[in-house]
């Protein structure tokens, strides 16, 4: 199985290409955008600690239709403001082919979530966008399937693809998913695309985010995506795993030290 190699693309965010391997990227922010105030506080804090980009969900894929579904379009406006005020590039998820254009206007990187890794219509639409695409690995996807999903985007002409490992589903109960560090090492032998890790979603608990972050980077990851919330106890989603801005500052010191 041969995969396309991407040597020298230039995205709005400088992640891959000639930058690859020189500087690690750190994407940080809350699972969901809850308010302008919350977003702004977190963005300023993570920037101070050295984050390269701000992430925050406004279209939220939730297992149950009765859970909080995100702020939607109102959230996009907040993201645009965060970008303007902080200068941080924005990473946010898009779930619907019909929203790709709209989200692209406020975001630098469109995230395609684990559940949509084989939503081929969405992948093709993302391939037609000029935004960079962060492609999460499906929670039981093989590495080959993950790379072939990236291929759907590349085939449309968009080579700004960042691969993101976010945990696989296993039988283990002490963590939400099993963070598959090995997949990062394997993917780096198969593709020139940047590969980052998201230990927050994988672990589902905050006390092991730092060792998992170090492990991902040690295995060759080009960066990390970390959930940060100013008030984790009262977060509308994923509160068990969100770091406080202080925790995140500590993490940054640890992984850079």
Cα–Cα distance, 175 to 62 (Å, whole number):
19
| Given 215, 236, 237, 239, the residue binding a copy of itself (CB under 8 A) | 215
Lookup result for tokens 């032998």: 189
Within 13 A of 216's CA, how many CA atoms are on the CB side? Answer: 32
State the nearest-atom distance from the C-beta of 37 to a copy of itself, in Å.
28
Size of the site for a copy of itself (CB under 8 A): 60
Asked if residue 188 binds a copy of itself (CB under 8 A), the reply is yes
Contact present, 129 and 154 (Cβ < 8 Å)? no
Candidates 29-37, 42-50, 199-207, 222-230: pick the segment binding a copy of itself (CB under 8 A).
199-207
Give the H or E element holding residue 84: helix 73-86
Cα–Cα distance, 118 to 45 (Å, whole number):
35
| Given 168, 195, 224, 235, the residue binding a copy of itself (CB under 8 A) | 168
| Given 10, 220, 236, 237, the residue binding a copy of itself (CB under 8 A) | 220
Other Cβ atoms closer than 10 A to 51: 25
Cα–Cα distance, 137 to 169 (Å, whole number):
11
Contact residues for 101 (Cβ-Cβ < 8 A; gap 6+):
129
Length of the chain in residues, anyone?
Answer: 257
Asked if residue 250 binds a copy of itself (CB under 8 A), the reply is no
Asked if residue 257 binds a copy of itself (CB under 8 A), the reply is no
Asked if residue 170 binds a copy of itself (CB under 8 A), the reply is yes
The interface with a copy of itself within residues 46-65 (CB under 8 A) comprises: 61-65
Q: Pick the closest to residue 94 from 122, 131, 74 (CA basis).
A: 122
Other Cβ atoms closer than 10 A to 126: 29
| Given 104, 118, 237, 244, the residue binding a copy of itself (CB under 8 A) | 118
Cα–Cα distance, 127 to 132 (Å, whole number):
9
| Given 101, 155, 253, 256, the residue binding a copy of itself (CB under 8 A) | 155
Of 54 and 179, which has the nearer Cβ to a copy of itself?
A: 179
Of 85 and 155, which has the nearer Cβ to a copy of itself?
A: 155
Asked if residue 202 binds a copy of itself (CB under 8 A), the reply is yes
Of 14 and 61, which has the nearer Cβ to a copy of itself?
A: 61
| Contact residues for a copy of itself, defined by CB under 8 A | 61-66, 95-98, 115-116, 118-122, 139-140, 142-145, 148-149, 151-152, 155, 168-175, 178-186, 188-189, 202-203, 207-208, 211-212, 214-220
């Amino acid at each position: 199985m041969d995969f396309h190699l991407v040597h020298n693309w230039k995205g709005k965010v400088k992640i891959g290409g000639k930058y690859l391997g020189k500087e690690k990227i750190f994407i940080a922010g809350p699972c969901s955008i809850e308010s302008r105030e919350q977003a702004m506080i977190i963005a300023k804090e993570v920037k101070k600690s050295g984050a390269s980009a701000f992430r925050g969900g406004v279209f939220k894929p939730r297992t149950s239709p009765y859970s909080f579904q995100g702020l939607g379009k109102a959230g996009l406006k907040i993201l645009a403001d965060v970008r303007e005020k902080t200068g941080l590039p924005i990473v946010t998820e898009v779930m619907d082919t019909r929203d790709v254009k709209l989200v692209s206007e406020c975001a630098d990187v469109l995230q395609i979530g684990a559940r949509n890794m084989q939503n081929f219509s969405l992948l093709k639409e993302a391939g037609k966008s000029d935004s960079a695409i962060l492609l999460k690995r499906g929670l039981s996807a093989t590495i080959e399937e993950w790379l072939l999903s990236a291929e759907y985007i590349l085939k449309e002409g968009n080579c700004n693809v960042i691969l993101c490992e976010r945990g696989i589903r296993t039988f283990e109960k002490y963590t939400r998913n099993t963070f598959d560090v090995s997949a990062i090492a394997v993917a780096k032998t198969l593709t020139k695309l940047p590969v980052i890790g998201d230990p927050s979603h994988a672990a589902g608990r905050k006390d092991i985010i730092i060792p998992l972050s170090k492990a991902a980077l040690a295995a060759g990851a080009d960066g990390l995506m970390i959930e940060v919330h100013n008030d984790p106890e009262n977060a509308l989603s994923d509160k068990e795993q969100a770091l406080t801005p202080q925790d995140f500052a500590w993490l940054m010191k640890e992984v850079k030290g």
